[in-house]
Chains A and B, each alone.
Chain A
């Protein structure tokens, strides 16, 4: 609840700041233009006043305001009556000088021009009505001082944008670091919990295994030589349950095992075929067809027994997903991340909300499952530097993909 509020506040604050500086930036250029127009009008008034006082216009040569690039007075014939460059007085005005029409409300023209030097300047053209003649004032101003407001606005905009970008960038980094820290903390807690559970399970399994072997042995003996016919059936049940418990104990011990693996190069295709051979009868009984695509020449480094257990678990898991029959597809190929083995079934598939928890120990959707099979698969895959993933869609079956490094 707090997070969305904080995010919203940050976004709103950023948007307000952005709007403020953008508005400031957009207002800067008209403001600069207004400043230039104001200066030009003042200077034009001064020039007109001097021209009225001195019809020879000689006194204008002493008028040298700092922001003026040049100014000139042009007569009706288009000749310079006065120019700040005295060499040009009397010559024809260069270039096309636009004349403001009498009907125009503003009575003056203004524009940005580029001088021959490359300087960008402001040009202001205004008719002057002197007692003896009508002249056209051409006034060109430097823009550096007037454009200071634009530069300041651009500076503020760039600075704010960079600060906003930095803040957001750092916020993203901090959030990602915090998320990673939280994930690490959760994983560590989970690993510690699993380690404790494994140790406890292993101790328990060890204590159970011996008495269980005795119970199974005696039950088998009774099953073979029953004193009463009914006892044979009961003994058979005891043996079946004892075997199930034995399987659970073995899985638990395998899961808790942390000894160093002895790894050798293994032909992946051969390993897959061996595992599938063990389930062929079971598959046939369930009406499941096995389709196997295992090219030769793919070799992995690993512990044969552990990988065999992994493949058997995956294959049996797939068979259990198809109680009404179907197709078990096993394919081996060389992928970008190493050797990929996919085991797919045509069963009912797994709902999306359960997929994420499939590899958790003791999590199972089967009524008599232990919840250790797939957890053990993941453990074995990770022990070999590989990974296991699942893709499943309800009604379309599931595909488990095991990726192991190539030898």
Chain B
């Protein structure tokens, strides 16, 4: 049976209203931080945070890799680069590991606090990774990294990440 114009009108009205109501409840900023994770960085908001890992990036989480960190009463989302980059060059992290991160802090439109991480150190394992240079240029965008801590008592530096595509590099120690 062919649907009549009234049936089509009813379906159209209900669909539009559902979309509008969904938009009202979701809000235009829902799930979106509005931050420029790949190129964004502000030296004014640079800070160091320490705390314990709540959750670690998992394969299939999406485009961006985040480490959730509990620092005092605050929960921070540490942006540690695109997922493929982190999977190739990241350091092992486990929930409840004590970590220290330095980077540019920001608050997203979703109300969450983020840190666009420059360096990340897992104090539990002693491993550290540099994700950006001092100007905040990201390793995955081809920024050439210089060793931040050329000498460490725990055995010096070793390159594991190698040169990145496009000339970028990342230091893991």
Contact = CB atoms under 8 A, between A and B. Distances in A.
B106 interface: yes
Contacts, number: 112
Given A144-B107, A165-B17, A169-B13, A116 B27 contact: no
B154 interface: no
Contacts of A115: 42, 44-45, 106
Contacts of A45: none
Interface in A153-169: 154-155, 158-159, 161-163, 165-166, 169
Interface stretch (A30-38, A79-87, A221-229, A250-258): A79-87
Nearest to A158: B24
A233 interface: no
A400 interface: no
B46 to A, nearest CB: 5
A85 B46 contact: yes
Contacts of B108: 119, 144
Interface residues of B, number: 37
Interface residues of A, number: 35
A52 interface: no
Interface stretch (A3-11, A170-178, A193-201, A332-340): A170-178
B36 A69 contact: no
Contacts of B131: none
B44 A118 contact: no
A216 B24 CA distance: 83
A116 B40 contact: yes
A316 interface: no
Nearest to B39: A118
A94 interface: yes
B116 interface: yes
A176 B114 CA distance: 53
A206 interface: no
14 contacts: A85-B44, A85-B46, A88-B44, A116-B41, A116-B42, A144-B111, A151-B29, A159-B24, A162-B20, A165-B17, A166-B21, A169-B13, A170-B13, A172-B13
Interface of B: 6, 9-10, 12-14, 16-17, 20-21, 23-25, 27-29, 34-36, 40-47, 104-109, 111, 114, 116, 136
Given A69-B45, A161-B20, A177-B6, 11 more contacts: A84-B45, A85-B45, A85-B47, A115-B44, A116-B41, A142-B107, A144-B111, A154-B27, A162-B21, A173-B13, A180-B6
